[in-house]
Amino acid sequence: MIRDQTPDDPLSVFAAWFEEAEAKEVNDPNGVALATVGEDGMPSCRMVLMKGYDEQGFVFYTNYESRKGRQLLAHPKAALLFHWKSLRRQVRIEGPVAQVSDEEADEYFASRARQSQIGAWASDQSRPLEGRFELEKRVARFAAKYVVGKVPRPPHWSGFRLSPSLIEFWQDGAFRLHDRLVYQRDGEAWRTERLFP
Ligand SMILES: Cc1cc2nc3c(=O)[nH]c(=O)nc-3n(C[C@H](O)[C@H](O)[C@H](O)COP(=O)(O)O)c2cc1C
């Protein structure tokens, strides 16, 4: 697709590729590596699940007090990397990150399974854990606390939206002659460029 065509809008390319990934990947086609930077400029990377995308950006949810959460609040820039193995494609996305609104986070939190909602309260994500039993005790404590009614969203659990300033589509080619198409934000429009593989 990207070999012969250069659509004006990278989101239309992403949408087409993501749709194919949803159809073909064995699991978690929305699994994406998220790279952040720490105080000392050291990068760190882990997987998250992309829970939505549109012209405004790509959204994922996490604990704001986790390592990545603290890093993003201090340095609100990040990179995302999708790799769809069965399609032999990768998409790199870079840009500034902002917190989603409380309303947006509430809506998504409410859509999650009750056990996952309890888990969000129980997990002090990225902080030391004595052993599995400590986690299980916390799950039991919050399950008892919220035994009736709606589980509220923890104040430290919410989403980030990365608004892309760069998106690169990479498609495997025979004998390592891959296709690379880069979109860079240029005001309201996108500038495109092809790169040697
Ligand atoms: C496929 C996959 C999806 C994941 N999705 C999320 C996610 O959406 N949010 C999240 O906080 N952690 C997610 N995790 C766990 C993170 O990779 C990571 O272990 C955790 O968030 C702690 O990272 P940190 O210490 O850098 O903050 C996922 C892990 C995998 C393997």
Report the distance separating Cα 163 and Cα 147, nearest Å: 38
pLDDT tier at 76, thresholds 50, 70, 90: very high
What are the tens digits of pLDDT across the range 165-196? 999 999 999 999 999 999 999 999 999 999 99
Residue whose CA lies nearest to ligand 1 atom number 31 = 47
What are the tens digits of pLDDT across the range 105-159? 999 999 999 999 999 999 999 999 999 999 999 999 999 999 999 999 999 999 9
Quote the pLDDT of residue 129: 96
Q: How far is CA 80 from the centre of its chain?
A: 7
Quote the pLDDT of residue 1: 75
- The SS3 of residue 137 is helix
Pocket of ligand 1 (CB under 6 A): 28, 31, 44, 46-49, 60-63, 66-68, 125-126
Quote the pLDDT of residue 73: 98
Q: What is the chain's mean pLDDT, rounded?
A: 97
Beta strands at 166-171 and 77-84: parallel, antiparallel or unpaired: unpaired
Quote the pLDDT of residue 104: 98
Residue whose CA lies nearest to ligand 1 atom number 22 = 126
- Tell me the sheet residues that pair with 60: 50, 160
Return all residues near 3 (Cβ < 8 A) that are at least 6 apart: 171, 173, 179
176 flagged as catalytic: yes
Q: In sequence order, what E strands does the chain have? A: 31-37, 43-54, 57-63, 77-84, 89-99, 157-162, 166-171, 179-186, 189-194
